[in-house]
Amino acid sequence: MANPRNDRIRHRYLDYLRHTAGYSEKTIDAIMSAISDYERYTGYRDFRRIHPELVKAYKRHLLDRP
């Protein structure tokens, strides 16, 4: 189940990517897809509770995928 706090953070980040950083929609779609994958991996854990060990585990997960 999606985390409403993450939705707010994601919305602000999306606004930043579009209007401040000037990324293309194709690039933004790829970034949002990666963020969604990370959320699924963490069980929709609050972004504010991210810690280095969780990020390292996710990176290992990505490397182990076929």
Name the band, by pLDDT with cuts 50, 70 and 90, for residue 2. confident
- pLDDT at residue 3 greater than cutoff 80: yes
The per-residue pLDDT for 57 is 97
- pLDDT at residue 1 greater than cutoff 80: no
**Neighbouring residues of 7: CB distance < 8 A, sequence distance ≥ 6:** none
Of 47, 61, 51, 65, give the one whose Cα is nearest residue 8: 47
> What pLDDT digit, counting tens, does each position of 14-63 carry?
999 999 999 999 999 999 999 999 999 999 999 999 999 999 999 999 99
Q: pTM score, two decimals?
A: 0.84
Question: Is-contact 8 26, C-beta < 8 A?
Answer: no
Could you say which DSSP state residue 43 is in? T
